[in-house]
Amino acid sequence: MSPVRAEIVVDLGALRANVRRLSDLVGPGVQMMTVVKADGYGHGMLPSAEAAREAGADWLGVATLDEALALREAGDTGRILCWLAVPDEDYAAGIEQGIDLTAYTVAELDEIVRGARRAGRAARVQLKVDTGLSRGGSTEESWPALVEAARAAELAGAVTVTGIWSHFACSDEPDHPENDRQERAYLAALALAESAGLRPEVRHLANSAAAILRPSSRLDLVRCGIASYGVDPAPGLTDHVGLVPAMTVRAQLAVSKQIRAGAGVSYGHTWVADHDTTVGVVPAGYGEGVPRHAGNTAEVWIAGRRRPVRGRICMDQFVVDLDGEHLPTGTEVVLFGAGLDGEPTAQDWAEACGTINYEIVTRIGGRLRHRYVDRHLDADARTAARGVTR
């Protein structure tokens, strides 16, 4: 096997601890959905899903039917919801596997009904209403027709309406007035559905930020994605939960050398040394999902110190300033991690790149290997040391 140039280390113990903390926070009677879409937000869908189930997750959430089917193929037998379909989706395959499908429109519901006929069994369907995100979900004007069609399909034995849900647009800003408006709109849509005879198993509105910051939105179930991986869904507002980032991205120094004052670094010479110094080459670049915007803005952790990225990020590598130190090749480089030892976090990289922490962890990958560790006790001990109790 070739040597490890760079890798993603995922602490499944931290993920389990996060799921348990979130479950403790929302309290008994509220089911937990761990969202594992987009390859588990870059952490690996299947290992993340297994860890979440071990921590008590009642549901798994994914975007696509293919993701849901992959979970079933891997042996997951619990409740799974998917919500993003395309024309000619093979709904029958999902229905046969007992996957909850989402309908936004009457036309989509009709496709699911046809899939149920092919599968020879009723489809589990959740209806999504658009309460203000203007993305997926039925509009307020179309909602009565969708509810009527769903009730008719249920009476015909083609579907069972198992859930009614929506999604916040501004839950990471708890004082934003849109949150109140969306919650009112959701409750009105729910009341209309119930008046038509629908009795969903689960009513859900809260994503990670709302699950933590807006108790009124917890209802029957919360959908926790980014928070399950220990990444702050509302930076600076959720420290009290004690989430532990599960992902560390690390590499080895491939080159370490001295450069003279006046030397330009990387393409375009966007950084020029103003004094003699040493630099190191890190063997990961935008081919691995390292954001190009990190050039001259982000920092990494090497030999107990943060070191600035110098010059542009390249496809396979980038350069860091070692500030005159002569460090041997093979020295560990941490791009970002939990931050418990001083290393940068995904949030630090997000701020350096002008993006959000979701994008940082989800886009990283490419040629990077995933390595899974289990530091459950270590994660709990470190969190306790920071003064956070469960």
Phi, psi of 106 (to 5 degrees): -65, -40
Dihedral class, residue 27 (left if φ above 0, else alpha if ψ from -120 to 50, else beta): left
229 is annotated as an active-site residue: no
What is the crossing angle of helices 45-54 and 65-73, to 10°? 70
The answer to whether 140 and 100 have CB atoms below 8 angstroms apart is no
Q: Check 37, 186, 229, 286 and give the catalytic one.
A: 37
**In angstroms, rounded to a whole number, what is the distance separating the alpha carbons of residues 106 and 152?**
11
Task: Residue count of the chain, please give it.
Answer: 390
Burial of 107 from C-beta contacts in 10 A (0-12 / 13-18 / 19+):
exposed
Amino acid identity at 222:
V
The two structure tokens encoding residue 163: 């859930």
**Cα angle vertex 27, ends 45, 195, to 5°?**
90
**Angle of helix 376-385 versus helix 12-26 axis, rounded to 10:** 60
H helical segments located in 3-156: 12-26, 37-41, 45-54, 65-73, 91-96, 106-119, 143-155
What are the residues facing 202 on neighbouring strands? 163
Residue position matching structure tokens 């063997």: 283
The residue from 41, 257, 267, 372 that is catalytic is: 267
Please list, in sequence order, all residues whose beta carbon lies within 8 angstroms of the beta carbon of residue 29, skipping any fewer than 6 positions away.
Answer: none
Told to judge if 104 belongs to the known catalytic residues of this protein, a careful annotator would answer: no
Helix and strand numbers (H, E) in the chain are 12, 19
In Å, how far from its chain's centre is CA 191? Answer: 31
User: Quick one: which of 285, 382, 385 has its CA closest to 337?
Assistant: 382
C-beta separation of 33 from 53 below 8 A: no
Residues forming the active site: 37, 267
